[in-house]
C-alpha cells in the first residue's frame, strides 16, 4: 500500500506539484494552529492520503513546513499593511496608530493565528536552512522601520534613531496584545470588566504611543 501511495506522490507536472505543495501548506497550517509544534507529519500525510516519505518530496522537514506556513500568512499581512498605507490620509503618526489598531484587532479576533505569526518558536532541525526559511521576511517590523524613518526624516517625529524607535513601538504594542489575549484571561479573573476592558486598554496604549511620538 505504501509503495502505491509513494508512486502517487511522484507528480511530474510542475503545476500539479505546486498545487500539491500548496495543499500540504494549507493542511499543515491548520495542524500547527491546532497542535502547535506537536503537529504530526504522519497526520498531515494521512490527511493528504500519501505516505509520510512522500511529504518530503515537497517539503524538507517540519521546520521548513512551519516557515512555509508563516511566510504565507505574512504575505497576506504585508498586503493588508500596504492597503492601510495606500488608503491613509494624514500624517505618519496617525498611520502608525491605524497599524496598531489593525495589530490589536488581529490579536483579539484570532489569537491562535497571531501567536503562530508573532510569537515564533519554529521546530528545531539539524539540517541546513531550506528555501522557505531562507526567504523568510517578516512584514510589520519592516513597514514600521520605513514609516518611522520617513517621519523622523521629515521632522514629524523628533526622536533621532528610527531603528530604536521602531523597536520601542513594536514592544509597546506587542506586549499589550499578548496581555489582553485569552492566555492571560486567568490573570484578570478577579477584576471586573469595568477595571479591565481590552478595547479601552488598547486605546489607552495607542494614546500613550501618540504622546511618546510627539
Average pLDDT, the chain: 88
How much is the pLDDT for 47? 96
How much is the pLDDT for 194? 58
Residue keyed to cell 523568510? 136
pLDDT at 9 over 80: no
pLDDT at 193 over 60: no
Measured CA angle at 204 (ends 201, 207), to 5 deg: 155
Asked if 117 and 22 sit in the same domain, the reply is no
How much is the pLDDT for 51? 94
Alpha carbons 113 and 109: distance in angstroms, whole number: 9
Task: Please report which helix (H) or strand (E) contains residue 1, including its range.
Answer: none
In terms of pLDDT, which residue wins out, 210 or 214? 210
Answer yes or no: is 158 within a domain.
Answer: yes
Instruction: Find the mean pLDDT for residues 84-107.
Output: 95
Per-residue pLDDT band for 1 (boundaries 50, 70, 90) equals very low
Question: Could you tell me the three cell numbers for 127?
Answer: 539540517
Alpha carbons 35 and 22: distance in angstroms, whole number: 20
How much is the pLDDT for 44? 97
Asked if 24 and 91 sit in the same domain, the reply is no
Which CATH number does the domain housing residue 169 bear?
Answer: 1.10.357
How much is the pLDDT for 6? 46
Asked if 53 and 74 sit in the same domain, the reply is no
Answer yes or no: is 64 within a domain.
Answer: no
Asked if 75 and 44 sit in the same domain, the reply is no
Instruction: Find the mean pLDDT for residues 115-134.
Output: 90
How much is the pLDDT for 195? 62
pLDDT at 178 over 70: yes
How much is the pLDDT for 203? 93
Measured CA angle at 110 (ends 68, 104), to 5 deg: 105
How much is the pLDDT for 181? 83
pLDDT at 205 over 50: yes
How much is the pLDDT for 184? 73
Answer yes or no: is 134 within a domain.
Answer: yes
Tell me the per-residue pLDDT of 31-60, one tens digit each, with 9 for 90 and over.
999 999 999 999 999 999 999 999 999 999
Alpha carbons 168 and 60: distance in angstroms, whole number: 36
Per-residue pLDDT band for 198 (boundaries 50, 70, 90) equals confident
Per-residue pLDDT band for 81 (boundaries 50, 70, 90) equals very high
Tell me the per-residue pLDDT of 129-140, one tens digit each, with 9 for 90 and over.
999 999 888 778
| Phi, psi values for residue 159, rounded to 5° | -65, 155
Asked if 49 and 101 sit in the same domain, the reply is no
pTM over 0.75: yes
Q: How many domains does the chain have?
A: 2
In terms of pLDDT, which residue wins out, 134 or 181? 134
Question: By the 8 A CB rule, do 176 and 111 touch?
Answer: no
Could you tell me which of 138, 148, 137, 139 has the C-alpha nearest to residue 96? 148
Asked if 41 and 78 sit in the same domain, the reply is no
Amino acid at each position: 500500500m505504501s509503495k502505491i501511495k509513494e508512486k502517487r506522490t511522484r507528480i511530474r507536472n510542475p503545476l500539479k506539484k505546486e498545487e500539491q505543495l500548496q495543499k500540504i501548506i494549507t493542511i499543515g497550517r491548520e495542524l500547527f494552529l491546532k497542535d502547535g509544534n506537536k503537529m504530526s507529519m504522519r497526520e498531515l500525510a494521512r490527511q493528504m492520503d500519501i505516505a509520510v516519505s512522500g511529504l518530503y518530496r515537497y517539503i524538507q522537514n517540519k521546520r521548513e513546513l512551519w516557515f512555509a506556513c508563516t511566510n504565507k500568512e505574512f504575505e497576506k499581512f504585508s498586503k493588508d499593511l500596504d492597503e492601510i498605507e495606500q488608503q491613509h490620509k494624514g500624517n505618519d503618526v496617525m498611520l502608525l496608530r491605524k497599524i496598531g489598531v489593525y495589530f490589536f484587532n488581529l490579536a483579539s479576533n484570532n489569537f491562535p493565528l497571531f501567536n503562530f505569526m508573532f510569537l515564533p518558536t519554529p521546530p528545531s532541525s539539524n539540517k541546513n536552512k531550506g528555501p522557505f526559511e531562507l526567504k523568510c521576511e517578516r512584514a510589520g517590523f519592516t513597514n514600521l522601520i520605513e514609516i518611522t524613518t520617513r517621519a523622523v526624516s521629515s521632522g514629524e517625529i523628533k526622536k533621532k534613531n528610527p531603528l530604536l524607535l521602531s523597536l520601542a513601538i513594536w514592544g509597546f504594542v506587542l506586549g499589550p496584545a499578548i496581555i489582553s489575549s485569552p492566555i492571560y484571561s486567568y490573570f484578570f479573573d478577579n477584576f471586573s470588566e469595568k477595571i479591565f476592558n481590552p478595547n479601552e486598554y488598547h486605546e489607552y496604549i495607542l494614546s500613550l504611543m501618540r504622546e511618546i511620538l510627539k
